[in-house]
């Protein structure tokens, strides 16, 4: 049996799956102490189920997202080695940021050495200011990590108790500013995350659960809980990923659908294209800064069931703030939830109070309560529909760097609009009608995120970049830099090497079965010609385990593919 | 005025002329590394667009591809041209203030008639854009400034008789480099005199002289011309490390030039110092277009004052600029019949060599001298390619500004050529109605495409 648990900001959802059937589900309020709510949810779904039968538990948690949002972490100082390029005024991260000399180029060749004195000055400056956590990031460090390592070892020799995080270990893809943010956040959250992992492990042990324990990442893949300490920030925004995977499991395979998760104050939108959730091309944004974390493409619209509605002159406006519960549930202001109540689209709260809320808005304008309610609902729907259109347009506008990528670009439209979350039922039919798709509220929509966690499978990737002229290769995900031993080193050799690294990574995480199937998602070969002579080749290879879910939730039990 | 700079980056990582040709997969690889690592696409001033394909008709509106467009272009060509059109649309609609099509393959050596690939070019991205902007957006006056080390002979050929296109090319002296043209006396045909200006620069020319030409010739002439759109053929082989050229421009100078010219669109042309120049020049141009500080961008082996120029060469360039300024100033006062004669047609003979495909083409180009419009153009062309039988074509091109009588006369000429049956293919390209027709003698068949 599989367990999926989504620890959200307001509530914690849990499901128990048995061979493709939802055996039990529970929703409990999230408390400040995550472990307490987690145990509570766990106990409810495990009632009468022997712990030995639990093969697997997957968590999705907003813990890291919240830590970052609430700035509940120790300050992190930053040492950057940006070299020439963009002006340094672009590198601003709301913390002490020190710049030192030194530069690598795009092939990892040193073009400017480090200067000892500058390193020493930077360290003593951070020390004076009381920092004990430092992020060290150099431009092109994923092509050559020598400078980052040198600076880190200097820090360690002077301050063995400091926590130092290096850019090349956190994220390997090119994008220096995003790597800086990722490294800083990884440095900031690592301790707290380890603490969380230990508590969860202890709690599960107390309940006798000995199955494998995983955590969901922003890209919808899972990682064994105990191994993920390497990159805790990969778990940010796993909430939306959980709902999207849940929907993927609850609708038939191969569908193109929009997932609309309408909550109290925000509505999250995601796409499932021909059965596969869409990955964002940009890396997850943390507030106004982009990170290098691979994530599903999720768009958050600042409107939900509890958004406040006000009359301004002859206009009725829906704001993005929340001032408590809807009027029909004892709140201070009218909300879209009140409008749904008046139109009979929900049974939530007090009908008379909802009518009163509409009259407050409508009477000065001479509008009936149902007219007002319909107008509010239309405004919310228009907003959501606009964003859905924008999301599709953005997807069509994704850049492409190869001829075949341009040629295979297709226009796709959703067959269905799938509603999950509290206020979904009232809106989905009309949203779907507007974009010409079928409305779907799947069974268990309320706990779709927990289902998503339960069905998520591990994802592993390896990006190999080999430069035969310089005789070395790098593995982005590992921050590894190694010598090419074979000569000549052919494309076949590069593919083999990438495959071996995927296996190595799988072993490291205890995911050996995951690599039985693998797919190469990129295999670029660049012939290097210098002075009319071929001097080497660059191979860019990406290999990964297939993305997907364990299976679809069947109506009569048994996972279906 | 907070509009963004649009970028289309299409490095065509799966396309090459041949694995070891300068125009191969690797060409924009280090540019990609540099701009991705800098996070340029994430800057709030930048908007990255997806590439798109140009239609075959977009190509036919500009070129006579022999025998047809499909036989001269690959999908990569259509994407490079289409990406340029995408940015053109976005500039005209006001979505962006300017844009940079960093695309492969390049195009500025592609002429009106295309028998094959010359100078790594098959179709002319900027010229296709010009015809598109006119047809789709009604834009008339356009300036093209070509900053490639090689003379933009294709672009010159396409607009030689068009008074509404100002074409300025500065480049390494044609006596020392492909394609061997682009001298100061090539000033445009009778109907477009001095709308073509060439500045052949001596090998070894460095930033100071480059800026002299920009400040004293390019900027004042472009300003005087008052174009609706300015396009920069942004070739980067004037860089001091380029293996094909012998010039000494720096990335910084390219950025300064961009900042001064303020092109609406820059379109990548040549540039084969793919490691030592392209990553730095492309980054600097992007930043200059987006009005972002580019003073931190520098080649690793450059130091200020590295290149000194000889005073004689500098003086020679100053004299040339004087002379060209005079041609420009007198463009409407010169005695056209005295230069070009008074016949019904002005005619010139051309010999064109296709260095990539080893084709030799002989061409007679005639332009109808008309008081009311730029006149239609007739081209008779014969191309030899090794042992194969030569191909003969006859082509008529009606400009978009054509007067009524030129238009109807041109159709008579086309029909006559069909009857005479001397050529393998006969083409009609009517830009005034956006109609392109191809007649194939062997099959006795005609194909029409309309925009
Ligand atoms: Zn060139
Ligand atoms: Zn005329």
Place of tokens 């396409």: B158
Say how far apart CA B243 and CA B173 lie, in whole Å: 16
Are the C-beta atoms of B182 and B174 separated by less than 8 Å? yes
Buried b (16+ CB within 10 A) or exposed e, A272-282: bbebbbbebeb
* Least CB–CB distance from B34: residue in A106, A112, A399: A106
Give the SS3 label for residue A545. coil
Contacts of A110 in chain B (CB under 8 A): none
Instruction: Decide if A87 and B293 are in contact by the 8 Å CB cutoff.
Output: yes
Contacts of A101 in chain B (CB under 8 A): none
Cα–Cα–Cα angle for B259, B264, B266, rounded to 5 degrees: 75
Sheet holding B377-384, edge to edge: B345-354, B359-368, B377-384, B391-398, B425-430, B435-440, B445-450
Domain presence at residue A453: no
Domain presence at residue A401: no
Q: Do A486 and A537 fall into the same domain?
A: yes
pLDDT for A422:
67
Q: Do A171 and A197 fall into the same domain?
A: no
Cβ neighbours, 10 Å, residue A347: 9
Say how far apart CA B423 and CA B441 lie, in whole Å: 7
Instruction: Decide if B50 and A409 are in contact by the 8 Å CB cutoff.
Output: yes
Per residue of chain A (561 residues), give pLDDT as tens.
999 999 887 789 999 999 889 999 999 988 888 888 888 999 999 999 999 999 999 999 877 887 887 888 889 999 999 999 999 999 999 899 999 999 999 999 999 999 999 999 999 999 999 999 999 999 999 999 999 999 999 999 999 999 999 999 998 899 999 999 999 999 998 888 888 888 888 889 888 998 889 999 999 999 888 765 567 888 887 888 999 999 999 999 999 999 999 888 789 999 999 999 999 888 888 877 889 888 999 888 889 889 999 999 999 999 988 888 899 999 999 999 999 999 998 888 899 999 999 999 999 999 999 999 999 999 999 999 999 999 988 888 889 999 999 998 777 889 999 998 767 788 999 999 999 999 999 988 889 999 999 999 988 899 999 999 999 999 998 899 999 999 999 999 999 999 999 999 998 888 877 778 899 999 999 999 998 899 999 999 999 998 889 889 875 556 655
Using the mean position of ligand 2's atoms as its centre, give its distance from the Cα of residue B420 in Å: 24
* Least CB–CB distance from A406: residue in B32, B40, B53: B53
Rounded to the nearest integer, the mean pLDDT of chain B is: 96
Residue B293: closest C-alpha in chain A: A87
pTM for the structure as a whole: 0.93
Residue B50: closest C-alpha in chain A: A399
Smallest Cα distance from A517 to chain B, Å: 26
Are the C-beta atoms of A233 and A64 separated by less than 8 Å? yes
Point out the domain boundary residue: A128, A161, A191. A191
Using the mean position of ligand 1's atoms as its centre, give its distance from the Cα of residue B39 in Å: 28
Q: Do A63 and A81 fall into the same domain?
A: no
Straight-line distance from the first to the last Cα atom of chain A, in angstroms, rounded to the nearest whole number: 18
Nearest-ligand number for the alpha carbon of B344: 2
* Least CB–CB distance from A177: residue in B39, B50, B279: B39
Instruction: Mean pLDDT check: name the lowest of A223-237, B15-29, B277-291, B306-320.
Output: A223-237
Closest CA to B109 of B276, B237, B230: B237
Q: Do A97 and A125 fall into the same domain?
A: yes
Size of interface A-B (CB pairs under 8 A): 124
Smallest Cα distance from A300 to chain B, Å: 19
Cα–Cα–Cα angle for A440, A426, A247, rounded to 5 degrees: 30
Using the mean position of ligand 1's atoms as its centre, give its distance from the Cα of residue B34 in Å: 22
pLDDT for A485:
93
Q: Do A187 and A81 fall into the same domain?
A: yes
Domain presence at residue A220: yes
Smallest Cα distance from A106 to chain B, Å: 6
Cis peptide before B179, with omega less than 30 degrees from 0? yes
Are the C-beta atoms of B392 and B376 separated by less than 8 Å? no
Smallest Cα distance from A475 to chain B, Å: 16
B176-230 pLDDT per residue, tens: 999 999 999 999 999 999 999 999 999 999 999 999 999 999 999 999 999 999 9
Q: Do A484 and A510 fall into the same domain?
A: yes
Q: Work out how many domains chain A is built from and give that number.
A: 4
Tell me, what DSSP letter sits at residue B342?
A: S
Phi, psi of B39 (to 5 degrees): 70, 25
Tell me, what DSSP letter sits at residue A280?
A: P
Nearest-ligand number for the alpha carbon of B244: 1
Question: Catalytic one among B109, B161, B239, B264?
Answer: B109
Q: Do A183 and A197 fall into the same domain?
A: no
* Least CB–CB distance from B14: residue in A175, A402, A538: A402
Instruction: Decide if B15 and A529 are in contact by the 8 Å CB cutoff.
Output: no
Say how far apart CA B379 and CA B58 lie, in whole Å: 20
Instruction: Decide if B296 and A86 are in contact by the 8 Å CB cutoff.
Output: yes
Q: Do A25 and A62 fall into the same domain?
A: yes
Here the CATH number for the domain that contains residue A147 is 3.40.50
Domain presence at residue A353: yes
* Least CB–CB distance from B36: residue in A175, A397, A409: A175
Tell me, what DSSP letter sits at residue A560?
A: B
Contacts of B20 in chain A (CB under 8 A): 527, 529, 532, 534
Domain presence at residue A53: yes
Instruction: Decide if B29 and A406 are in contact by the 8 Å CB cutoff.
Output: no
Instruction: Decide if A529 and B22 are in contact by the 8 Å CB cutoff.
Output: yes
Using the mean position of ligand 2's atoms as its centre, give its distance from the Cα of residue B70 in Å: 32
Contacts of A99 in chain B (CB under 8 A): none
Give the DSSP letter string of B126-182: HHHHHHHHHHHH----EEEEE-SSS--HHHHHHHTT-TTEEEEEEEE-TTSSTT---
Smallest Cα distance from A311 to chain B, Å: 33
Q: Do A537 and A470 fall into the same domain?
A: yes
Domain presence at residue A48: yes
Q: Looking at residues B414-421, what average pLDDT do you find?
A: 95
Domain presence at residue A422: no
Structure tokens at B319: 């004299």
Are the C-beta atoms of A148 and A136 separated by less than 8 Å? yes
Contacts of B292 in chain A (CB under 8 A): 86-87
Range of the domain at A46: 2-70+193-242
Known active-site residue B109 = yes
Contacts of B49 in chain A (CB under 8 A): 397, 399
Contacts of B52 in chain A (CB under 8 A): 406
Point out the domain boundary residue: A191, A206, A228. A191
Residue list, CB under 5 A from ion ligand 1? B 148, 150, 235, 237, 270
Instruction: Decide if A527 and B36 are in contact by the 8 Å CB cutoff.
Output: no
Residue A110: closest C-alpha in chain B: B300
Are the C-beta atoms of B157 and B126 separated by less than 8 Å? no
Q: Do A66 and A104 fall into the same domain?
A: no
Residue B135 buriedness (CB in 10 A; 0-12 / 13-18 / 19+): middle
Say how far apart CA B323 and CA A463 lie, in whole Å: 57
Closest CA to B115 of B349, B351, B360: B360
Using the mean position of ligand 2's atoms as its centre, give its distance from the Cα of residue B448 in Å: 24
* Least CB–CB distance from B24: residue in A178, A406, A527: A527
pLDDT for A228:
55
Q: Looking at residues B18-28, what average pLDDT do you find?
A: 93
Using the mean position of ligand 1's atoms as its centre, give its distance from the Cα of residue B227 in Å: 25
Contacts of B8 in chain A (CB under 8 A): 399
CA B437 to chain centre: 24
Q: What is the ipTM score, two decimals? A: 0.94
Cβ neighbours, 10 Å, residue A471: 13
Here the CATH number for the domain that contains residue A16 is 3.30.420.40
Q: Do A204 and A153 fall into the same domain?
A: no
Give the SS3 label for residue B208. helix
Q: Do A124 and A33 fall into the same domain?
A: no
Domain presence at residue A430: no
Smallest Cα distance from A142 to chain B, Å: 10
A100-151 pLDDT per residue, tens: 999 999 999 999 999 999 999 999 999 999 999 999 999 999 999 999 999 9
Give the DSSP letter string of A18-53: ETTEEEEEEEEE--SSHHHHHHHHHHHHTTT--GGG
Instruction: Decide if B42 and A403 are in contact by the 8 Å CB cutoff.
Output: no
């Amino acid at each position: 049996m599989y367990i999926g648990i989504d620890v959200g900001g307001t509530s914690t959802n849990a499901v128990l799956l048995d061979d493709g059937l939802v055996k039990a589900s529970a929703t409990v309020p999230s408390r400040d102490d995550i472990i307490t709510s987690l145990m509570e949810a766990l106990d409810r779904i495990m009632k009468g189920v022997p712990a030995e039968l639990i093969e697997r538990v997957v968590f999705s948690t907003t813990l890291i997202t919240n830590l970052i949002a609430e700035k509940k972490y120790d300050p992190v100082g930053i040492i950057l080695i940006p070299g020439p390029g963009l002006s340094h005024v672009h590198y601003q991260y709301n913390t002490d940021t020190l710049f030192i000399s030194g530069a690598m180029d795009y092939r990892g060749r040193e073009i400017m050495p480090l200067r000892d004195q500058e390193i020493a000055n930077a360290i003593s400056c951070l020390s004076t200011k009381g920092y004990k956590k430092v992020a060290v990031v150099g431009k092109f460090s994923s092509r050559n990590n020598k400078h980052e390592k040198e600076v880190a070892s200097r820090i360690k020799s002077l301050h063995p108790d400091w926590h130092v995080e290096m850019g090349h270990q956190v994220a390997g893809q090119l994008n220096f500013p995003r790597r800086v943010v990722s490294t800083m956040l990884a440095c900031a959250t690592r301790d707290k995350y380890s603490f969380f992992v230990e508590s969860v492990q202890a709690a599960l042990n107390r309940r006798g659960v000995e199955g494998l324990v995983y955590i969901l990442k922003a890209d919808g893949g899972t990682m064994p809980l105990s191994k993920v300490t390497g990159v805790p920030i990969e778990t940010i925004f796993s909430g939306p990923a959980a709902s999207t995977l849940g929907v993927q499991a609850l609708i038939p395979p191969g569908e193109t659908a929009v997932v609309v998760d309408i909550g109290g104050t925000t509505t999250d939108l995601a796409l499932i294209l021909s059965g596969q959730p869409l990955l964002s091309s940009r890396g997850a944004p943390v507030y106004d800064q982009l990170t290098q974390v691979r994530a599903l493409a999720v768009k958050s619209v600042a409107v939900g069931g509890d958004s406040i509605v006000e009359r301004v002159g002859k206009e009725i406006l829906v704001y993005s703030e929340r001032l408590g519960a809807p009027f029909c549930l004892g709140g201070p202001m009218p909300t879209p939830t009140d409008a749904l109540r008046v139109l009979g689209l929900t049974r939530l709260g007090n009908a008379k109070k909802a009518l009163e809320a509409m009259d407050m808005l409508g009477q000065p304008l001479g509008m009936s309560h149902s007219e007002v309610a319909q107008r509010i609902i239309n405004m919310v729907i228009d907003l959501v529909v606009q964003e859905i259109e924008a999301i599709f347009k953005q997807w069509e506008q994704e850049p492409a760097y190869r001829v075949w990528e341009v040629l295979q670009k297709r226009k796709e439209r959703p067959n269905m609009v799938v509603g999950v979350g509290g206020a979904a039922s009232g809106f989905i039919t009309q949203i779907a009608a507007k974009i010409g798709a079928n409305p779907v509220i799947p069974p268990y929509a309320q706990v779709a995120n927990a289902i998503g966690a339960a069905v998520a499978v591990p994802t592993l990737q390896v990006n190999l970049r080999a430069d035969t002229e310089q005789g070395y290769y790098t593995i982005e995900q590992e921050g590894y830099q190694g010598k090419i031993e074979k000569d000549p080193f052919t494309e076949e050799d590069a593919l083999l090497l990438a495959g071996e690294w995927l296996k190595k990574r799988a072993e490291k995480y205890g995911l050996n079965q995951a690599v039985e199937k693998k797919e190469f998602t990129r295999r670029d070969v660049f012939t290097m010609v210098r002075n009319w002579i071929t001097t080497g080749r660059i191979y860019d290879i990406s290999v990964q385990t297939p993305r997907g879910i364990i299976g679809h939730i069947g109506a009569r039990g048994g996972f279906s593919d | 005025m907070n509009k963004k700079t649009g970028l289309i980056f299409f490095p065509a990582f799966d396309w090459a002329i041949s694995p070891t040709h300068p125009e191969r997969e690797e060409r924009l690889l280090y540019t990609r590394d540099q701009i991705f690592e800098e996070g340029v696409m994430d800057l709030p001033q930048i908007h990255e667009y997806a590439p798109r394909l140009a239609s075959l008709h977009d190509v036919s509106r500009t070129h006579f591809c022999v025998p047809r467009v499909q036989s001269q272009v690959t999908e990569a060509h259509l994407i490079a041209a289409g990406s340029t059109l995408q940015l053109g649309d976005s500039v005209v609609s006001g979505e962006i203030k300017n844009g940079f099509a960093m695309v492969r393959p390049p195009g500025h050596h592609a002429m009106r008639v295309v028998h094959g690939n010359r100078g790594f070019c098959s179709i002319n991205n900027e010229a296709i854009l010009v015809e598109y902007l006119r047809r789709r957006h009604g834009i008339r006056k356009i300036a093209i400034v070509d900053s490639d080390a090689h003379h933009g002979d294709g672009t010159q050929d396409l607009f030689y008789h068009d008074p509404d296109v100002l074409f300025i090319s500065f480049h390494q002296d044609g006596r020392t480099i492909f394609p061997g043209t682009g001298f100061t006396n090539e000033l445009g045909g009778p109907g477009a005199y001095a709308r073509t200006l060439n500045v052949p620069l001596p090998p070894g020319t460095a930033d100071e002289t480059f800026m002299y030409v920009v400040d004293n010739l390019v900027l004042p002439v472009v300003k005087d011309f008052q174009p609706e759109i300015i396009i920069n053929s942004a070739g980067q082989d004037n860089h001091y490390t380029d293996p094909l050229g012998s010039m000494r421009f720096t990335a910084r100078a390219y950025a300064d030039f961009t900042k001064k010219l303020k092109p609406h669109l820059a379109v990548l042309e040549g540039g084969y110092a793919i490691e030592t120049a392209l990553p730095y020049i492309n980054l600097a141009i992007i930043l200059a277009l987006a009005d972002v500080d580019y003073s931190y961008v520098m080649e690793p082996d450059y130091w200020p004052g590295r290149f000194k120029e000889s005073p004689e060469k500098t003086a020679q360039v100053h004299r040339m600029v004087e002379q060209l300024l005079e041609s420009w100033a007198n463009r409407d006062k010169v005695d056209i019949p005295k230069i070009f004669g008074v016949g019904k047609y002005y005619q010139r003979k051309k010999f064109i060599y296709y260095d990539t495909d080893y084709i030799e083409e002989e061409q007679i180009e005639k332009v109808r001298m008309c008081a009311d419009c730029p006149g239609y153009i007739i081209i008779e062309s014969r191309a030899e390619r090794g042992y194969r039988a030569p191909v003969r074509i006859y082509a008529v091109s009606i400009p978009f500004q054509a007067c009524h009588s030129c238009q109807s006369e041109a159709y008579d000429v086309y029909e006559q050529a069909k009857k005479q049956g001397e050529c393998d293919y006969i083409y009609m390209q009517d830009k005034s109605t956006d109609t392109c027709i191809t007649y194939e003698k062997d099959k006795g068949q005609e194909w029409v495409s309309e925009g």
